[in-house]
């Protein structure tokens, strides 16, 4: 599998092209979200729509540094995604830990785009602090994360999602190797978690 990604990466024209395409994809999703008024969670009178998505506690596991393949590791995530925001833009915060002891902690903004009842596209961007542990040196403590995600939303509003993300320091460090991660997420509505805990 790693060999396939490396060949795709090599055939794409080098280091910057894959990352540029990832950023362009995320920007396109954000623009599509702004265009898709049906995703707005509030009605004109300020009341919430019946089918508005709840706040989520999200857990994820994935493959870190899958494109370069030099510092591959398992990747684990825990995130909170808020249910309210400014128009379509909602805040999120999270922790990301690699099998090599790397840690990224930060937050940012996301936009969900509904494609029918069950399919949801999400574009997200954020900024956070990074500690490499014994893993990949990303060139700076301050690191930016961009992400594109496609999810299946179940009738209970929980989601199963596949995401592709890129972390880099955006050139503010002397070195900016960046890294790519693919992640499988489960997004659990906070209300269901509260019910399970008897709240």
Domain boundaries, the chain: 2-196
Per CATH, the number for 2-196 is 2.40.160.20
Q: Residue 185 above 90 pLDDT?
A: yes
pLDDT of residue 52: 82
Q: Which residues contact 104 (CB under 8 A, 6 or more apart)?
A: 95, 96, 128, 129, 130, 143, 145, 167
- Cα separation of 8 and 22, whole Å? 14
> Is residue 128 within 8 Å of 138, Cβ to Cβ?
no
pLDDT of residue 197: 74
Report DSSP state, residue 101. Answer: S
pLDDT, tens only, 79-104: 999 999 898 899 999 999 999 999 99
In this structure, the number of other CB atoms found within 10 A of the CB of residue 38 comes to 7
- Cα separation of 163 and 173, whole Å? 26
Stretch among 24-28, 50-54, 89-93 having the lowest mean pLDDT: 24-28
In this structure, the number of other CB atoms found within 10 A of the CB of residue 48 comes to 11
Q: Which tokens is 80 given?
A: 């909170």
* 98: nearest Cα among 124, 56, 131, 145: 131
pLDDT of residue 193: 73
Q: Residue 39 above 50 pLDDT?
A: no
Q: What is the mean pLDDT of residues 159-165?
A: 98
Global model pTM greater than 0.85: no
């Amino acid at each position: 599998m790693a060999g396939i990604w490396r060949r795709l990466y090599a055939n794409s024209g080098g280091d910057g092209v894959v990352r540029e395409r990832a950023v362009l994809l995320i920007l396109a999703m954000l623009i599509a979200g702004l265009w898709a008024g049906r995703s707005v969670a509030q009605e004109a009178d300020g009341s919430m729509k019946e089918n508005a998505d709840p706040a989520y506690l999200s857990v994820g596991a994935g493959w870190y540094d899958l494109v370069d393949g030099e510092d591959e590791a398992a990747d684990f995530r825990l995130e909170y995604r808020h249910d309210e925001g400014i128009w379509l833009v909602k805040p999120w915060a999270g922790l990301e830990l690699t099998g090599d002891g790397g840690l990224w902690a930060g937050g940012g903004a996301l936009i969900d785009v509904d494609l029918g009842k069950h399919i949801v596209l999400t574009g997200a961007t954020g900024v956070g602090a990074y500690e490499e542990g014994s893993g990949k040196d990303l060139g700076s403590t301050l690191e930016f994360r961009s992400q594109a995600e496609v999810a299946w939303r179940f009738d209970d509003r929980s989601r199963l999602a596949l995401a592709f993300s890129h972390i880099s320091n955006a050139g503010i460090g002397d070195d900016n190797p960046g890294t790519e991660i693919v992640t499988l997420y489960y997004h659990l509505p906070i209300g269901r978690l509260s019910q399970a805990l008897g709240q």
